[in-house]
Amino acid sequence: MNEKLPPGQHEIPAILRWNIDHPGIIPENPEIDLENWTIMVDGEVEKPITLSWHDFLQLPSIEVKSDFHCVEGWSVRKLRWLGVKFNTLVHMVKPKKSAKHVLFRCSDGYTTFLDLRALFEENVLLSYKLNGKWLEASLGGPLRLVVPNKYAYKSAMWIERITFTKQISFGYWEKRKYSYTADVWKNDRFSGR
């Protein structure tokens, strides 16, 4: 983990972000029933899969400590995320050569797109525990993506479907002038489109 904060970021205590209003899609957290919860992984892959919550918890998990940077300038540091490496899922579904990008769809209607290459980094997780506790709904539980080197709008909360695609496309904030690549170390906030 990097000791420094990325350019243009300031640290806030972790507790504060519960009070931050995310100008997302819906005002309340979506209600998710774990009995009926599934995650679907499809698109440009050899083996599309749908996993139940029980199935998902059987996958090998690891804990990764990382900082979390919102494009609005706040960062929370040293979060311990537990979850499944995105790589693990990649090995299961076997992306075709044509797969270049990945679309994340969430229960609140939110979407974000990432380069498949960016998701290969070892610290990219599909996470369900934070600092030793089950991830609460207000922080994206039961399952969220965590991509520490990208601004947090890439860290999709309440994931329900992951689709590998040939073509680049844009998600919720990427359509609203924010960067597709969103590299926190390059201060890469806006698309310039």
Ligand X SMILES: Nc1nc2c(c(=O)[nH]1)N[C@H]1C(S)=C(S)[C@@H](COP(=O)(O)O)O[C@H]1N2
Tokens of 9: 């970021």
Number of residues interacting with ligand X: please give it, by CB under 6 A.
16
Closest CB to ligand X: residue number: 24
**Under the criterion CB under 6 A, does residue 156 sit at the interface with ligand X?**
yes
Specify whether the CB–CB gap between 184 and 150 falls below 8 A: yes
C-alpha to C-alpha distance for 130 and 44, rounded to whole angstroms: 31
Among 70, 119, 159, 182, binds Mo ion (CB under 5 A): 70
- How far apart (Å, rounded) are the C-alpha atoms in residues 168 and 113? 8
Report yes or no: 29 and 94 within 8 Å, Cβ to Cβ: no
Under the criterion CB under 6 A, does residue 119 sit at the interface with ligand X?
no
Stretch that binds ligand X, among 33-41, 42-50, 80-88, 154-162 (CB under 6 A): 154-162
Please state the closest distance from residue 100 (CB atom) to Mo ion, in A. 25
CB of 157 to ligand X, least distance (A): 4
Q: Is 129 in the site for ligand X (CB under 6 A)?
A: no
Structure tokens at 125: 């997780």
Structure tokens at 73: 């300038």
Cα distance between residue 155 and residue 164, in whole Å: 16
The backbone torsions φ and ψ at residue 140, rounded to the nearest 5 degrees and listed phi first, read 105, 5
Q: Is 155 in the site for ligand X (CB under 6 A)?
A: yes
Residue of the chain from 41, 102, 103, 106 that contacts ligand X (CB under 6 A):
106
> Nearest to residue 178, comparing CAs of 144, 162, 154, 147?
154
Restricting to residues 38-77, name those near ligand X by CB under 6 A. 70
Q: Report the residue from 56, 81, 113, 158 that binds ligand X according to the rule CB under 6 A.
A: 158
Q: Which chain residues interact with ligand X by CB under 6 A?
A: 17, 22, 24-25, 70, 106, 108, 110, 139-140, 152-153, 155-158
